[in-house]
Amino acid sequence: MRLRRAVEIGFLVFVPLGLFLVGAELVLRVYLSRNIVYDVEMSRYAVRLKVDSPNPLVGHHHRPNAEETLMGVPLRTNADGFRDDDVPIEKGAQRRIIFLGDSLTLGWGVRKEDTFEHLLEARLSEREPTEVLNLGVGNYNTTQEVNLFIEKGAKYDPDQVVLFYFINDAEPVPQKSRFPGLGNYRIVTFYWSRMKALMARFSPTTGFQEYYAALYREGAPGWPRSQQAFLALKALSEEQGFDLRVVLLPELHELVDYPFAKEYGQVADFLRENDIPVRDLTPYFQGETEPQSLWVSRDDAHPNARAHRLIADYTFDFLLETE
C-alpha cells in the first residue's frame, strides 16, 4: 500500500514536470527561431565558440577558425581565435596595434565592419598604413586580457597595445559552470536568466550598480589582480618597446550622472600613478540622455553600431598621441 502511494506521488511529481520541460523547450525553440534573447545568445556563444584554456590565468579563449551567428550578426574567428583575419606574424611596413578587451572590444552584437576596432583601423590607415588586431574575448577580465596577450599577442610584435577597460574587468577569473548541460537547454537558460531579473527587481543589491561598485571596495579580490595585470603589461611594454595605453569604456545605463565615476577615477588614478596613459570616455558620453539608443538590444546593454562609432571618434586622437 505504501509502495503504491509512493509510486503515485512520484508519478504526480515527475511526469508533469517532464511533460512541461519538454513542451516548454519546444515552444522556446520556436520562439527563439524568430526572436533574439541576449542570455540565450550568450549561452550559445559559450557552447559554440569558447573553449577551455590550459592556462588558468586565461581561463577560456575562442575556438580557432570558427563561425557562428550570434545576436543576429556573424562572428568569425581566425587561426588564433581572434575576431579578425589571419595576419602573418612577421610585421610588414605598416604600423601594428593590438586591442585587448572583453566582449565590448570583441564587438558583441555588431557586425565586424561596425566595430570600433575596424573603424579605427580604417581611419588610422588614412594617415599611415595600420593593422589593428582584435584580441577581445567575451567575459574577460584584465588578468585574462594580459595573459592572452602574453600567450598569443606578443608574438605579433605590436607597435602599440591598447587595453579597453570596462567596469566589470575587475571581476575574478570566471569559473566553468558546475552544470555542464546548462548552455544546451533553452528552458534552463530561460529560467536562470529570468530568476536573476526577478531577484534584481526585488533586491537592489543584485542589480548592476551595486554589483559593479562592489568590485572596487576594500577587500574585493578582483581589482588588486587587475592592478597586478596592468603592471605586468607595463613591464612588458618597456621590455618589448611598444606603446601602452588604456581606454575606459562607459557602462551604458546612465551617462548623464555616471554612477561609476568614483570607480573609474580609482582606475584612472592608478594608471596615471604608474605612467600608463589613460583616457576615460565617460565624459564624452555625458550628452547621451537616452542611453538605450546606444544598446545592442533592449535586453543587452552592449554598445551598438552607433556607440562603436562614438567610441572610435573619441579614441582616435588618443592613439596618435605617441606620434
Residues that bind other proteins (CB under 8 A): 7-8, 11-12, 15-17, 19-20, 23-24, 38, 42-43, 45-47, 50, 60, 103, 138-139, 168, 174-177, 182-183, 189-192, 194-198, 200-201, 206-208, 211-212, 253, 292, 295, 298-302
**CB of 108 vs other proteins, minimal distance in Å:** 9
- Cell numbers given for 162: 591598447
Strand 73-76 relative to strand 130-134, pairing: unpaired
Q: Going by C-beta distance under 8 Å and a sequence separation of 6 or more, which residues neighbour residue 96?
A: 130, 131, 132, 133, 156, 157, 158, 159, 160
**CA distances, 74 to each of 78, 107, 108, 273 (Å):** 13, 11, 10, 40
Are the C-beta atoms of 45 and 68 separated by less than 8 Å? yes
**CB of 230 vs other proteins, minimal distance in Å:** 21
Considering beta carbons, is residue 132 or 255 the nearer one to other proteins?
Answer: 255
Measured CA to CA, the distance from residue 233 to residue 190 in angstroms comes to: 39
Considering beta carbons, is residue 110 or 161 the nearer one to other proteins?
Answer: 110
Burial of 79 (0-12, 13-18, 19+ CB in 10 A): exposed
At 69, phi and psi to the nearest 5? -95, 120
Considering beta carbons, is residue 207 or 277 the nearer one to other proteins?
Answer: 207
C-alpha neighbours within 13 Å on the C-beta side of residue 96: 18
**CB of 20 vs other proteins, minimal distance in Å:** 4
Considering beta carbons, is residue 48 or 234 the nearer one to other proteins?
Answer: 48
- Cell numbers given for 200: 534584481
- Cell numbers given for 64: 580557432
**CB of 149 vs other proteins, minimal distance in Å:** 20
**CB of 301 vs other proteins, minimal distance in Å:** 5
Considering beta carbons, is residue 156 or 165 the nearer one to other proteins?
Answer: 165
**CB of 168 vs other proteins, minimal distance in Å:** 6
Considering beta carbons, is residue 143 or 189 the nearer one to other proteins?
Answer: 189
